[in-house]
Every structure is written in C-alpha cells, then in structure tokens.
Structure 1
Amino acid sequence: MPEDPAIPYDQTSRAAPAASLPQRARGQAHLSVRTRAGASVLGDLHMSGSSKLLFPRARGAELDAVYLNSAGGVTGGDRFALSATVDEGAALRMTTQAAERIYRAAPGAPGHVSTRLTAHPGAQITWLPQETIIYDGASLDRRLTIDLAQDARLLACEVLVFGRRAMGEAVHELFLRDRIDLHIGGALAFADRLRLDGDAAAVLNRAAVADGAIAVASVLCAAPGIGGRLDHLRELLPPQAGGSALTEDLVFLRLLAPDSFELRKTLVPLLHELAQDDLPRPWML
C-alpha cells in the first residue's frame, strides 16, 4: 500500500557513504496463513539470513509463530524485514523468542527493522513481540505497517525500553525513528510517529513526556464493539497510562512504567483481557 502523504515520515538519517559501512546483518522472513479443515495452517514460508520463524505445537484454531533474530540484536547498518499475510477466515498469533536488543551503532546508517502485517476478510492477527531494549548510542529506523480488511481483527503491542534500570543503564545518545501505520479497508485509521534524538534520558524525564518512565507500551485493538469496553480497560491501567476509542471498533492504549518488569505487571493482564485467551508462552513475568 502506498505511503499516506498526509502523515509524512521523518526521513532524517545518518547515512554514510556505502564504502565506509562494514558488512552488517541481514534478515528477511515471510509467511502466509490459510484455513484447512477448520484450522489455521501455514501457506507460504520464506526465511533468509538472520531471520528465523519457529512454529510451536498447534493449539486451537490459531497458528502460532515465533520470530527469532539469530544475529542476537540490531546495530547500525543492519536490515531486517518481516511480513505476514492471513487469508480469509484464518488466524495468526505472532511473538518473538526473546526481547530484541538495539545496540550501540558506529557512525553511519541506522539499523532498519520493517514489519508488514496483512489480514484479509474475517481474518485475525495477534502481534505481540516482546520488548525492544534500546542501549546507549543506538541508531534505529523502525516501521510497523498493518493492513486490515474492514471486518478483520487485530491485537498489536509494541514495547520500547530505554536501557535496563536494574543494570544502571541510561540512554544519553540516541537516534530513533519509530512509525506505526494502521489501514482498515484501504483507509488510514491510525498513525503514530516517534522521533527521539540525542539525550533520551533527559527527554523522557520531562513531566509532559514520560515523567521519568523508561518503558513504553503501545497497544492497538481492532474488534467489533471494543470501543464500548474502554471504561473497563481504563480501570486496568496504571496512573501513567491512557486510552482512547478512535472508533467504536478501534482502541489505542499507551502505558508507561519505571522499568520493563513493572510494565509487564500491568501489560500482561491487559493483553490477556483484550485477547480473551492465554498469551504466548514467551510472555511470562
């Protein structure tokens, strides 16, 4: 789907001449899901480079998939792309084997991570990657693009953690571009943009930004009548959180916490409530 010109994406980069860039990690993965005998099964599958997909034992009507970056993390110049297509009436639930780590980058191009999810009529996608942990000196350009048919369902969560507080880490040097786009029935329904440069710790410490929180979760849920449950969902949120019903069938929630463990204590029950099901096994406190 073409980019929406009404919501421009910050193209500022740290690109350096190609000759000066060292060889970096590359990974691509794609899968499609279809139905067979009332169950969701694998259609197409492609993996290359450092991107791997694992498939736990089947449970229920959904297909479970676990993404693994065998390079161990992302740094400047790395490029990873993941795409998933869910055919009519099928259901896919995806997570990651572990938290993704964005390491210090040498001067040059940022690491690029691109994810595209497509759900056809009557399909369902659950996208629950574990946390993305950002280290001091990291450089990242990340995009999540979701295309839903008008009656498709979605539960998606992205978590950013700016350093590990228990390890005494803080992020004082950062180049970050993060984008989420949701299209429903071909029209842009939601767009989120995050640009954070320089001393991230100082920015996050501002009362009007994160008031000292370093763990941030963004949750999107598209389901019939979900907007009518907003008051109940707000009761599950901590003080540093908020939620909006963008339409009667689309809700967005943002949660902040002082660290990832505290965030999970609220986020896991919230996701369980939205999914009306157990979460993938990697999602354990």
Structure 2
Amino acid sequence: MHVPPIAEEQLDEVASATRHVDALPSSWQGELELWLESRNGKTRLIRRRHFGPLIVQQPFNPEADGTCHIYLLHPPGGIAEGDKLETKIHLGQGARTLLTTPGATKFYRCQQGGSEQRILIDVGGAAVCEFFPQETILFDGADAMVETRVCLAADATYVGWDLVCLGRPAAQERFTSGRVSLRTEVLCEGKPVWFERLGLSGGSPLSRSRYALADQPIFGTMIYVGQTVENAADRVRDALEGHAGDVFSVSQLEKVVVCRYLGPRISQARTLFARAWDVLRTACQGKPASPPRIWAT
C-alpha cells in the first residue's frame, strides 16, 4: 500500500464544507479516511482526511507492541434520515490498530428515505486491525443500511464485532416498523473468506421465529480472520463455560473463528465478546486483550 508523503503539520486534511451533496436539506454526509503506518516500533496515524460530522480523537499507544488505539467520533450522536457516513481505514505493512467508538450508533426513525453507514478497511501485510464499535441501536421506524468491507493481505489479521439492538428495550420500544440491511464482507488477497448479509423488516416473522431471532432484541457477531491455532474455538468455549448466557456459539473455519450472541442484554453480549477476544488474542497473537479505556467510562 502506497501512502503519499506528507509532513507532520499536514496531518489533518479537511475537505471543503461547500461540497454539493445529493441528499435531504437537513441531512449529513460524513467522510473519514485514516492512514496508519508502523514507525520506530509504534503504529502512528500519519494522515487523516475528514469531511462533515466524522472525526477522531488524539490516537495513543497504550500497548508494549505499539498498537495504536483510535476512537472514531460522530458528534451528532445519531444517524437520521438521509445521512450517509463513510469511514475508510488503511493499514500499512506491520501496522497494528484497535478502533472503537465512545458510544452507541443510533439510527433514528425515517419517513421518506433511508440512512447509510459504510466502513471500508484495507489491512496490509503482517498488519492487525481490531474493530470494536459499541452497539448499533435501531429505533422503531429506522431505515438503515450498514456495510463493512475488509480487504486483507495474505498474512494480515482482522478482528471485529457487530452488536445490534432492535428498538430500545429499556424504554419498552420494539422494532415493529422500518427495516435494516446488514452486510459484512472479508476478502484475503482478493478472495472472499467471509460474507454475511441480513435483511430484516420491523415486526417480521423472522424476528419472532424460534429458528431465527426468537423475539430477542439483541444479536451480534464477532469474527477473527487470520492465522489461528487449531483449537481456537475450543479454547473460547472452555473459557466461557457456564457464562455463555442465553445463546452464545463459537465455530471455526480454516482461517475464521465466529462467535455469535442472541439474548436480551447488550451488557452481556459485550462481556462475552470481550472475553472471547481475550482468549483469541492470547492464543493467536501471543498477547492478552487491552480494553480501550473509554469502555470503563
């Protein structure tokens, strides 16, 4: 991956605020693009470009191997009708990063059009990208499209999760109307190694059926793609035995370990996925999990 040379004082690049967007008058179009490289034993954010309501906080390196922790921010706090957000992440050779968000992503009710969020991640040789956003909350009546696409070099690693909350259970709100399209695709050397797509309408039989979501408001998927040990899934099962809650499963393919959650509590889902991440990171990368400090606030 070629990164154009750039001086330190040119780290931040902001696109023109007068750009024309084909969207509703009150809607937002946001773009964020980050380039990371390994330099002198640490992964550094060497360039960033942003337009609209997507920014990052100051990155930092809390781990001994120089992994760069970055918080992705969306100051409006929610995605409304007509909003289109796109984030692109580029990792150079040997770079390591952990990406997270300070809060949930909320998709609000739509009446005339939908809203979109796209995440595009390019991971170079021997690089590691861990993407752990907080949950996505679909308000009743939301019309959301969420897409994640990851392109890996042959020896790169990607770990990521998606946690989805249908409605707002704490407010006794269910997802009875609206729709959501979820798509996750991971390619290694241009060949697909993981693909998953879900289209769900509010109040559909799929939400209530025992063979699908069983009327539970929370579901999530975590995937680990890269070099894995042979018994990685068994290690996760052993570590979570007796703590797996309502529905938690682990399976392993050739280069992919998949964890799934289905249940009533987002806190339980986060806890189980964090434990699975710790087991997989220790087994496959030789270091324990290093939870972002913002998760404790």
Give the shorter-chain TM-score range. 0.7 to 0.9
Aligned to 1:192: 196
Runs of 4+ residues over 3 Å off in structure 1: 18-22
Q: Secondary structure at the match of 2:275?
A: helix
Secondary structure of the residue that 1:279 maps to in structure 2?
Answer: coil
Task: Name the counterpart of 1:55.
Answer: 58
Question: Which AA in structure 2 matches 1:185?
Answer: E
**Count of aligned residue pairs for this structure pair:** 265
Deviation track 1:204-246 (CA, whole Å, cap 9, x = no partner) reads 2211112222111111102322452111213424451222212
Q: Runs of 5+ in structure 1 lacking a partner? A: 1-17
TM-score normalized by the length of structure 1: 0.87
**What is the match of residue 46 of structure 1?**
49
Contact kept, 8 Å, 1:155 with 1:274, in 2: the verdict is no
CA drift of 1:58 comes to: 2.5
Q: Aligned in 2, Cα 1:34/1:219: closer, same or farther, shift over 3 Å?
A: same
2:256 to 246, 250, 256: 250
**Which residue does 1:265 correspond to in 2?**
271
Tell me the amino acid that sits aligned with residue 83 of structure 1. Answer: K
Matched, 1:81 2:93: no
Match of 2:17 in 1: none
For residues 150 and 168 of structure 1, the distance between their equivalents in structure 2, rounded to whole angstroms, comes to: 46
2:8 — aligned with what? Answer: none
TM-score (norm 2): 0.84
Tell me how far apart the structure 1 counterparts of residues 176 and 51 of structure 2 sit (CA, whole Å).
34
Contact kept, 8 Å, 1:75 with 1:139, in 2: the verdict is no
Select which of 264, 278, 282 maps to 2:290: 278
Give the drift of 1:257.
1.5
Is the Cα–Cα contact under 8 Å of residues 125 and 155 in structure 1 kept in the other structure?
Answer: yes
Query: Are the counterparts in 1 of residues 28 and 53 from structure 2 also a CA contact under 8 Å?
Result: yes
SS across alignment from 1:55:
coil
- In 2: Cα distance, 1:226 partner to 1:130 partner: 27
C-alpha displacement of 1:19: 9.1
- The residue type paired with residue 170 of structure 2 is A
1:153 is matched with which residue? 157
Contact 1:76/1:106 (CA < 8 Å) preserved in 2?
A: yes
Letter in 2 for 1:283: W
2:221 matched residue in structure 1:
218
Q: Say if 2:101 and 2:132, in contact at 8 Å, map to a contact too.
A: yes
Alpha-carbon RMSD: 1.9
The aligned counterpart of 1:9 is: none
Q: Is the 8 A contact 1:213 1:257 kept in 2?
A: yes
Q: CA offsets, 1:35-91, max 9 Å, x none?
A: 111111112211110001113432231111111111221122100000101000111
Percent of residue pairs identical: 22
In terms of mean alpha carbon deviation, does 78-87 or 206-215 score higher? 206-215
2:70 paired residue number: 65
Provide the C-alpha distance between the structure 2 equivalents of 1:232 and 1:196, rounded to a whole number of angstroms.
33
CA distance change for structure 1 residues 166 and 239 in 2, over 3 Å: closer, same or farther? closer
Any idea what SS the aligned residue of 1:97 has? coil
